[in-house]
Amino acid sequence: MKNLKFISIILILSGVLFGQTPNGLEIIEKTYNRPTSKTLEANLTMVLENARGVQRVREIKQFTKDFGEVEKKLMIFRKPKDVKNTTFMNWSFDDGREDQWIYLPALKKIKRISSDSDSDYFMGSDFTYDDLGDRHPSEDTHRLIGEETIDGNDCYIVESIPLDEENMYSKTVTWIIKDKWIGYKKEFYDEDEEFLKQLNLVKYEEFDKVIVLSEVKMKNEQNGHSTIMRLSDLVINKTIADNMFTERMMKRGLR
C-alpha cells in the first residue's frame, strides 16, 4: 500500500513539473525571448491598401543588430520618390525602454519620437510606433484564456491588458503557436474595448533555430485599411557596423 501511495505521489508531481500548462506571462516571456539572429539585413516591401482596394507600395532597406542589452533597427525608405531617404531608427532595451527617431529629408531634420506619439501611425500604415517596437512582457498583465488549433497550428490564446491606463489599446488577444513561440494572430481593441484591428502572420522562415516573421498583415477592421509588411532577400548574422545605427547614418542614407 505504501509503495502505491509513493508511486501516486510521484505521478502527481510529474504532472505538475512536466505537464503543467504555462500561464499567460510565461507564454509571453517565451515568445519575447525566442532565439533571434545577431544581425538581420533585408529588403522590406510595405503595401498600403485602402477600403476601395487602392494600393500604395513603399520599398525599404532594413538593418537589425543585437548589441546585448539593446536591439537596434534602421529602416531606410528607397521608393517612391516622395518618401525616399526617410529613415526610422528604433532601439529596444532589455528593460522595456524604447528610443525611436525619424528623419524627414524634406525638413533635413531628425525628430525623436516621444512617448506621447507612441499611438501615432507610422508613415500612413496601420502600425503605430509602439507596434514597431518590442513590447516588453512587464508592460502588460497577461492571462491565458484558451487554446485553439488554427490552420493546423496548436495555439495558446493570451489576453494582455496594458498597465498604462493611457495606452491606446484597452487590451490585445494573441494566438501563439505552442511549439514555435511565435504569434500567429493578434487582435487589438481600442479604448472603448471595440475591436480595432488584427495582425496576421502570413509567412515565416526558419534559419537553424532562428525564426524570422517574413510577412505579416495588419488590417483595421473599423475603416477597412490594411498594411502588408513583407521581408525578402533576408541575410542573417552578417557583419553590420555599429555606426550603422546612428543619427549620422540616418541623414546619410544609402549611397
Could you read off the pLDDT of 90-117 as tens digits, one per residue?
Answer: 999 988 889 999 999 989 999 999 877 8
Distance CA 246, CA 97 (A): 18
Other C-beta atoms closer than 10 Å to the C-beta of 164 total 11
Torsion of CA 9, 15, 18, 23, to 10 degrees: -130
pLDDT band (50, 70, 90) for residue 11? very low
Average pLDDT over residues 77-86: 94
Domains of the chain with CATH codes: 24-252 (2.50.20.10)
What is the reported pLDDT for 229? 97
Please tell me the predicted confidence (pLDDT) of residue 18.
Answer: 53
Q: Is the pLDDT of residue 3 over 60?
A: no
The predicted pLDDT at position 117 comes to 81
SS3 126: coil
Give yes or no for residue 14 having a pLDDT over 60: no
Backbone angles phi and psi of 232, in degrees to 5? -140, 165
- CB burial of residue 119 (10 Å; 0-12, 13-18, 19+): middle
Question: Cα separations (Å) of 33 from 132, 136, 162, 172, 180?
Answer: 17, 10, 19, 19, 12
- Give 171's DSSP letter: E
For the cut 70, the answer to whether the pLDDT of residue 2 exceeds it is no
Per-residue pLDDT of 22-46, as tens digits, reads 999 999 999 999 999 999 999 999 9
DSSP, collapsed to helix, strand or coil, labels residue 237 as: coil
Q: Are 92 and 133 in contact (CB under 8 A)?
A: yes
- 119-132: per-residue pLDDT in tens? 899 999 999 999 99
Residue 236: beta bridge partners?
A: 40
Reply yes or no on whether the pLDDT at 186 is more than 90.
yes
User: Look-up: residue for cell 508531481?
Assistant: 13
pTM above 0.85, yes or no: yes
Q: How many other C-beta atoms are found inside a 10 Å radius of the C-beta of residue 232?
A: 10
Overall average pLDDT of the 165-177 stretch: 96
CA dihedral sign of residues 104, 252, 84, 102? negative
Look at the block and give the residue holding cell 520599398. Answer: 59
Mean pLDDT is lowest, of 42-46, 113-117, 180-184, 200-204, for: 113-117
